[in-house]
Structure 1
Amino acid sequence: MADDLERRLPDVPAAFPRPDAKLSDDVRRRVLALRPPHRLGRRLGLAAGAIVCVAASLGFTIGYWLRPASVDAATSISIAVRPGEAIAWQGGFTLYGSIVNGLPHQVVTIEEKSCGGYEPFHPVVTTETVQGGAFEAEPYSPPAVSMLYRARWRNGTSDPVDLRIRPRVDLAYASGFFKVGVWGDGLFRGARGVVERHDKRLGWIRVGRFTLRSNSYGTGGYGYVHATVRRGTNVRAVIPTSQVGRCFIAGYSNIVRV
């Protein structure tokens, strides 16, 4: 077939011409001489990567240990409250916390913000840390509404802590009538509560309801309940959380023994 193609196409060879073998060997040797050794290039790449990792680690470590101590100290303060609830105008709770560096004789300022108020946090009492960095304090004036408290040290402040306040509820009894007085920095007009007697088997049982009227000076309120209970029975008044608004929790009166 090759002879037939050469006969028909005299200018085109039937087979692709093969290159000269000597010339091919010479070109192969020159190309291989120009390529760098593969193993050496890989080693150089690994070495460069290791140097970059070491430099980054050193930079992070140096930056961490050389950061200003005042920045850390200014924000490292915590505060808590025990117990987390109190009765209006009666206090009975303690604010406590610590600073991170544990130094004594550091001045800490306690700030407060009232529930429902528009005023910003403002200082109410100062205290000092003891050995180990701990501190505790009580406001000079017990709150009459739920409060947020936070601690300030140097230029930093703690996260706020919430103190929930119960309205003060006073119960009195005379001639078959119970008088309920409610005290707190809030408007309680129209709030409904119950008077309950205690049963040894059943617990607290409702004996009457009341609706609060406003006091003449605005805050707080009072109400009356007429009920007949057996002599020697313990009685209390309760105002549930649903009736006192978002800035208070349920109020419980003193127990009266009829």
Structure 2
Amino acid sequence: MKRLRLAVAALVLIALAGIGVYAMRPAPVPATDFADALRGPASPSLSIPFGAYALTPEGLLRTTSTSGRESGIDRPMVKTLSGSYLSRDFAFEVDVMIPAEIQDLAFVGFGQGDPNPGLSNEPGAAFIFRIHRLSNTDAVHAAAARPPGGRLNTTVSPAEVLLRLEAIGKYVPGTKTTFRIERAGHVVALSMPGVPEARSAFDLRDYPKLFDEEAGFLFFGNSAEGTVFSNVRVRPRG
């Protein structure tokens, strides 16, 4: 009987400890609308890695990269503080300008966005734009990127790693171009508003484990020094 009482007491303590840990978890940051030209001051809605980016009169400039003005694997993302955007419909837009004289691969996405070493540190567990300004391509891809994992691999083909990959348009070097991600119910659509045919849609039900309700961030970032991001906005869809 004494052992039974001790066992029950131990279970009660474990349960209370679990409740305490849950109660200590910070409340989720609300997935709110906001707009920011990214010229300063720092946005209260974004987490910006200022070791790699700086606010300028033109927008958020990539100032430091291990690969300089060439595309590499140094790919820190600017993210919303809220990871709760999976809980609502929205339209997310950001303007991207990659100078014609540099080589870069930029990203705009919805999801976890942590670097995937298995694909050259591209953002993983997300729906993403892959915006190329390279010597051999200026393609814009819409993709579903699998969760991060594995060792660093810089030679693998993206088609071997990404869950889905679709070319939807081309980036014109040196131009400020708007990229839009919309969530409406089960549908996530990636589009370039200035190019009517540049659109691709994903059904969330086809990717049930891509990211969870606490990892629905909105994010953007790139690889090379010189690219500028500006006019980020999140608003109700429609």
Give me the TM-score of the superposition, normalised by structure 2: 0.28
Answer 1 or 2: which has greater helix percent.
Answer: 1
Q: Relative contact order: is structure 1 or structure 2 higher (C-alpha 8 Å, sep ≥ 6)?
A: 2
Larger radius of gyration: 1
Give me the TM-score of the superposition, normalised by structure 1: 0.26
